[in-house]
């Protein structure tokens, strides 16, 4: 009987554990279920770094300002912020380690870096101050691999992790390298539950700006403090603002693997489908799969501040970038076709000239042969005349003398 009771108790315990695991947040994220947005009691931790003092040839004007202002904005949004200005390699490594450890308590993690960043062999390196980098091989020991930040966040297993890199500037160290990219960062894969934002698209260079802040961070700060705070909509507005200001020479980029809703302002009510204007919803349903940016222009002219406005701007920008890419591809195809045509024309011209030279050489040889034959004929005629003269001379009669 006692054995039976123990078996029953163990079975009940096993069922309880299974139910707990089934409905735990980790299990929900694995099944791509959405968990409620963060509340006021959920931990929010941010590490913010701004490096400007790189030396006379590599100094940047705005990163320390950018980091200081982003730290202030995040504190307003209930983040516990650690701010580093002009951090060296050791300070950055220690801060990233402590940041990763703090995320093990769960909640939201946000890492922001402004300064020089370099892509090498597909990896992105964040450059500390006081680092003497003379060769690409120096990056492993004197710079911070951005993937170490992602790996630390991923190992922590917290709900949402955000990485913001305003580090896509020109490479100030490339001049002395045998072969190195001149600027921009490589695309990074966002682990599950993470969101990565770049100041510009992969391989492109971001502007340091002319005011207090870089162009990307200026728009980030403005959109953290106003407008709907859903992370996708915030960065959708940032992308639209930066692209408009720079005339699409700088277009921010993002990678997202978020499985939960995240809003920077947790007290902001979630908009439900039933709360969206029916006409806007109908219009959005009609255009959301379009491949023509003009459809989204029309939508935005009708609902410039609507629920789907940020998403429409994001879609429109991506379509315009794709159209621009296709135009460049077509222009390159036409250029290559023209080069091929000109190359073929040069080959044909070379063949024609070669044939003309061959014909000219044949004509010259023919004329030379004719002149040689004529010369031989004249020589033979002279020899005949000479022989005839000699023969006639012998026939002349000379009378004897007495």
pLDDT of residue 40: 62
Per-residue pLDDT, averaged over 81-98, amounts to 95
- Bridge partners, residue 85, by sequence: 50
- Bridge partners, residue 46, by sequence: 81, 110
- Bridge partners, residue 118, by sequence: 125
The more confidently predicted of residues 294 and 269 is 294
**pLDDT-wise least confident of 62-76, 81-95, 190-204, 240-254:** 190-204
Question: In whole numbers, what is the pLDDT of the chain averaged over residues?
Answer: 81
Selection from 23-32, 301-310, 341-350 with the highest mean pLDDT:
341-350
* 370 found inside a domain: no
Per-residue pLDDT, averaged over 183-194, amounts to 76
pLDDT of residue 387: 86
Alpha carbon separation from 401 to 256, 393, 395, 397, 398 (Å, rounded): 138, 20, 18, 13, 9
Per-residue pLDDT at 171 exceeds 60: yes
Q: Number of structural domains, the chain?
A: 1
> What is the rounded distance in angstroms from the CA atom of residue 272 to the CA atom of residue 287?
20
> What is the rounded distance in angstroms from the CA atom of residue 218 to the CA atom of residue 250?
13
The more confidently predicted of residues 280 and 40 is 280
* 100 found inside a domain: yes
CB burial of residue 173 (10 Å; 0-12, 13-18, 19+): buried
276-332, pLDDT tens digit by residue? 778 888 888 999 889 998 998 888 888 776 777 777 877 887 888 888 888 889 999
Q: Among all chains, which residue has been given the structure tokens 């305003």? A: 166
The fraction of the chain above a pLDDT of 70, given in percent, is 81
* Global pTM exceeds 0.75: no
CB-side exposure of 250: number of CA atoms within 13 Å?
25
* 99 found inside a domain: yes
* 346 found inside a domain: no
CATH of the domain at 256: 3.40.50.1460
* 86 found inside a domain: yes
Residue 48 — very low, low, confident or very high, per pLDDT cuts 50/70/90?
A: very high
pLDDT of residue 219: 94
Of 107, 238, 103, 91, give the one whose Cα is nearest residue 164.
Answer: 238
The fraction of the chain above a pLDDT of 90, given in percent, is 37
Per-residue pLDDT at 272 exceeds 60: no
User: Residue 108: which domain range?
Assistant: 38-270
* 58 found inside a domain: yes
Contacts of 27 (CB under 8 A, 6+ apart): 21
pLDDT of residue 10: 46
363-394, pLDDT tens digit by residue? 999 999 999 999 999 999 998 888 888 888 77
103-133, pLDDT tens digit by residue? 988 889 999 999 998 888 888 899 999 887 7
> What is the rounded distance in angstroms from the CA atom of residue 151 to the CA atom of residue 288?
35
* 308 found inside a domain: no
CB burial of residue 45 (10 Å; 0-12, 13-18, 19+): buried
Q: Among all chains, which residue has been given the structure tokens 């299974």? A: 18
pLDDT of residue 202: 77
* 71 found inside a domain: yes
Per-residue pLDDT, averaged over 328-345, amounts to 93
Helices (H), 24-61: 25-30
Per-residue pLDDT at 95 exceeds 90: yes
């Amino acid at each position: 009987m006692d054995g039976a009771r123990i078996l029953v108790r163990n079975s009940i315990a096993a069922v309880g554990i299974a139910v707990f695991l089934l409905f735990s947040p980790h299990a929900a994220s694995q099944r791509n279920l959405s968990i409620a947005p963060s509340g006021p009691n959920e931990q929010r931790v941010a590490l913010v770094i701004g490096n400007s003092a790189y030396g006379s040839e590599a100094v940047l004007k705005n990163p320390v300002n950018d980091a200081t202002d982003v730290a202030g904005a995040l504190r307003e949004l209930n983040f516990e912020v650690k701010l580093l200005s002009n951090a060296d390699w050791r300070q950055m490594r220690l801060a990233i380690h402590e940041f990763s450890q703090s995320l093990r308590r769960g909640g939201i993690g946000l890492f922001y870096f402004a300064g020089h960043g370099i892509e090498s062999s597909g990896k992105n390196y964040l450059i500390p101050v006081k680092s003497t980098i003379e060769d690409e091989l120096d990056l492993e020991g004197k710079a911070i691999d951005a993937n170490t930040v992602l790996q630390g966040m991923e190992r922590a297993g917290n709900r949402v992790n955000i990485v913001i890199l305003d580090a896509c500037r020109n490479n100030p160290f490339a001049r002395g390298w045998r072969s190195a990219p001149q600027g921009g960062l490589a695309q990074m894969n966002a682990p599950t539950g993470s969101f990565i934002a770049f100041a510009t698209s992969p391989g492109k260079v971001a502007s340091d700006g002319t005011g207090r802040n870089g162009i990307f961070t200026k728009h980030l700060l403005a959109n953290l403090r106003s407008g709907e705070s859903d992370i996708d909509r915030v960065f959708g507005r940032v992308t639209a603002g930066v692209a408009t200001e720079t005339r699409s020479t700088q277009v921010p980029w993002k990678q997202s693997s978020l499985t939960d809703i995240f809003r920077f302002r947790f007290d902001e009510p979630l908009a439900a489908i039933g709360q969206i204007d029916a006409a806007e919803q109908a219009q959005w349903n009609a255009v959301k799969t379009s491949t023509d940016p003009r459809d989204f222009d029309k939508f935005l002219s009708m609902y410039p501040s609507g629920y789907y406005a940020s998403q429409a701007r994001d879609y429109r920008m991506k379509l315009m970038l794709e159209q621009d890419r296709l135009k460049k591809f077509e222009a390159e195809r036409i250029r290559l076709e023209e080069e091929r045509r000109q190359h073929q024309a040069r080959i044909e011209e070379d063949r024609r000239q070669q044939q003309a030279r061959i014909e000219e050489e044949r004509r010259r040889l023919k004329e030379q042969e004719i002149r040689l034959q004529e010369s031989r004929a004249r020589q033979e005629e002279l020899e005949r005349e000479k022989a005839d003269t000699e023969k006639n001379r012998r026939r002349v009669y000379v009378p004897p003398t007495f």
